[in-house]
Structure 1
């Protein structure tokens, strides 16, 4: 039986592209909050392998472990690979945030990743089968930008988690993260709709903006045996943005 891959945030954007791409070689678990959109993605996935749906809100961290354990039991499956792509990005100055918006960002971007990793790396709940984890971070996790305070902080925390988990879970489980640059998705649509902002950003990307498929290919590589000796690493896929220091 082909192994299962869990992809959080797979109802749209990068997560959707990852799920469709991985469905060509793995059984997949589509995760998201919107059942209708998840069913639409399922229709686009390869019919050669199984596609299951785990509908849950990652902001509900108190019940998240119970929800995932229940899903594993109900479907009588084990998960070999985990991709955490779910994320919230709000471009706001810090003065416009409140505890609710900050907590929701961290719950979805970081805390849920910790809890899911805890369940999937458990011999009791997942029979010691997990092989590889990829967290989808951001190239802003190592840098700074106005109005990205909470999002950047959460992605920085996600990368710190990745490094610690890579050491803690070795040698059985490899853990890496991918740091995308500006990828054209529903979440970033408001940025690209502003012509002034788009033009200013585009000038800093030597290879132009990216597409979800660029990130999906990176995930495919990191999950595979071709990356068997890679763990604890940040793979930046951003069209050269972070190495461009042109004035």
Structure 2
């Protein structure tokens, strides 16, 4: 078998949350290019419909589902529709999540809990829903998109950083629970140049972030998609419970002081 043959997802079905834009979209397209059929979910149906059309143009099956991962009923409906339409589930990418800086004296405990729910509990719940279908299919693969914020010590990120740190540790623990049939890994991106980042961060600050990064640039969505493809395919068949840090070599926050 050629080494390139190991980066193949033929006859696989992936469910990807937050697939309408940015990292989720890039992963969905990469999986389709590698041969997978893809269930694209996000809160905005028009966004995932557009991604699904791109996937169909590549000759793969695609399903677009509107889903707020914070909502239990919508999570259940997502997985039910995926199985009904595609016949099985073999891969799950928990990409939906997010958050920004917070003032720990002003953020309420309820808002803090919402950050945990959005970034960690929703991923746990989707894994719980998908694992029985993966076992039925004979094997499975889960990738959680965590963040460099999970390990950086930086001010005003106590909510988001804690939530992503919890997702990081959840990855390690569930990998032990579900081995050997199901592999669970995570990717911890540094700053990735998405439309959301460009809207929130001034150009001069983006330049500062790049200059504070050893590899001297902001990450691209394809940087994350390439790692996600590796973790999803037989190329990584002896890898589980691991966190791949895709951050340009940064060992601390690159936000300008």
Q: Distance in 1 between matches of 2:86 and 2:222?
A: 31
1:90: Cα distance to partner?
2.0
1:224: Cα distance to partner?
0.6
Change (3 A) 1:244 1:16: closer
Aligned to 1:218: 227
1:64: Cα distance to partner?
4.5
**CA-based RMSD:** 2.2
> Is residue 2:12 matched to residue 1:3?
yes
Work out which of the residue numbers 86, 91, 95 in structure 2 matches 1:85.
Answer: 95
- Any conservation in 2 of the 1:79–1:130 contact (CA below 8 Å)? no
> Can you give the 5+ residue segments of structure 2 that lack an aligned partner in the other structure?
1-9
Matches within 5 A, 1:1-247: 2-24=11-33, 25-45=35-55, 46-61=57-72, 63-75=73-85, 77-122=87-132, 127-193=136-202, 195=204, 197-207=205-215, 208-242=217-251
Q: Distance in 2 between matches of 1:69 and 1:82?
A: 10
TM (normalized to structure 1)?
0.89
Change (3 A) 1:99 1:243: closer
Change (3 A) 1:80 1:210: same
1:60: Cα distance to partner?
1.4
Q: Distance in 1 between matches of 2:83 and 2:211?
A: 50
1:228: Cα distance to partner?
0.5
- Runs of 4+ with >6 A deviation: none
> Can you give the 5+ residue segments of structure 1 that lack an aligned partner in the other structure?
none
1:57: Cα distance to partner?
0.8
TM (normalized to structure 2)?
0.86
Q: Distance in 2 between matches of 1:101 and 1:178?
A: 25
SS in 2 for 1:53: strand
Q: Distance in 2 between matches of 1:190 and 1:99?
A: 28
- Any conservation in 2 of the 1:221–1:227 contact (CA below 8 Å)? yes
